Amino acid sequence: MADNGKPKLALYWAASCGGCEIAVLALHEKILDVAEAFDIVFWPCAMDFKTKDVEAMADGEIDVCLFNGAIRTDENAHMAQLLRRKSKVMVAFGSCSSEGCMPGLANFKDKEQMFQFIYKDSPSTDNPEGIVPQEETEVPEGTLTLPGFWNTVRSLDQVVPVEYYLPGCPPEAKWIEAAVNAILSGELPPPGTVIGMDVTVCDECPRTRQEKKITRFYRPQEIIPDPDICLLDQGIFCAGIATRAGCGALCPSVNMGCRGCYGPNEGVIDGGAKLISAIASVIDAETPEEIDAILDTLPDPAGYFYRFSLAHSLLRRTNLEEIDGKKVAAPYEGVPRLDPKLKD
């Protein structure tokens, strides 16, 4: 607690698009209640705080840290470990922090492959000297450093212990508000709780469901869907059948299939595997050839099934390949917490 009796709150972003920070602002005028109720001691996106401000705090001095973004660099991991040490309660805020989300899709590649494409091969790149970022660069004034870039994106709980998860890409304002109220009232759920609902998006979706028999998938631009019938019944991929509710079925309400941003529903360890199982059960095919033909209408199945959850899945990442005769990292098999060898 601060001297003024208010709980101390920190907000931080790691490998993040910034959407989760904007989601906090989506509280609108209630943001003033948050500012009134908490002593905000660290929020570098919005105010002029420095890392040394956190370093100067006593361990456990921060009451709650809302941490958004995945862990993909040495700096992300350093800040996660620093804020963990200084905070009583750590909340994985949003899909990137909870599951790896979009940054985690990079686990289909490794650092070498990404740098090769981004800095050398991509059609919009003009880099004739093939310069890529270096962790250390000597200049007359001394050594410039950049944080080390990891091969593998991790969720926050693969790097430090986490008390609560606030899912969503980004979380809906009503759940941020619910989390804030729970913290202020002291009525916190058991550690490990995902703050939200324990049913699926289908349970919030008003569309009429029939017996599903899918003979092909349609991309959104290929079909004008009936506004009242389940999108999946119409062949539009919808992850709502295996996704935690809480958003009010936002995407199906505007004719877009759910992409799964609220993560797997309660009790599911691997959201992608659950989704594969759910979709497999509604495909109307009798032979492997028919199954293949239907799946051919679903572009980028790995991206559809693991769009938000690859880093946190049982797969975690693809095995890495040899590049220029160099094995860049061993296949990923679990992560020890707070281990300096996390780097790859």
Q: Pick from 9, 20, 153, 273: which binds ligand SF4 (CB under 6 A)?
A: 20
Q: Pick from 243, 265, 309, 313: which binds ligand SF4 (CB under 6 A)?
A: 243
DSSP 38: S
Residues 172/248, Cβ–Cβ less than 8 Å: yes
CA–CA separation, 21 vs 26, rounded Å?
Answer: 9
Consecutive H or E run containing 103: helix 101-104
In a 10 Å sphere around its CB, with 0-12 CB exposed, 13-18 middle and 19+ buried, how is residue 272 labelled? buried
Q: By CB under 6 A, which span of 29-37, 43-51, 145-153, 225-233 interacts with ligand SF4? A: 225-233
Amino acid identity of residue 87, one-letter, is: S
Q: Can residue 251 be called a binding residue for ligand SF4 (CB under 6 A)? A: yes
Interface with ligand SF4 in residues 56-95 (CB under 6 A) = 68-69, 94-95
Q: Can residue 310 be called a binding residue for ligand SF4 (CB under 6 A)? A: no
Q: Pick from 85, 88, 174, 259: which binds ligand SF4 (CB under 6 A)?
A: 259
Q: Pick from 7, 100, 170, 272: which binds ligand SF4 (CB under 6 A)?
A: 170
Closest to ligand SF4 by CB, 7 or 260: 260
Q: Nearest approach, Cβ of 2 to ligand SF4 (angstroms)?
A: 28
Q: Can residue 298 be called a binding residue for ligand SF4 (CB under 6 A)? A: no
Q: Which residues contact 288 (CB under 8 A, 6 or more apart)?
A: none
DSSP 45: T
- In order, the DSSP letters of 142-189 are EEEE-PPEEEEEE-GGGTS--SEEE-SSS--HHHHHHHHHHHHHT-PP
Report the interface residues with ligand SF4, using CB under 6 A.
16-17, 19-20, 68-69, 94-96, 101-102, 169-170, 201-202, 205, 207, 209, 230-232, 238, 240-241, 243, 247, 249-252, 258-262
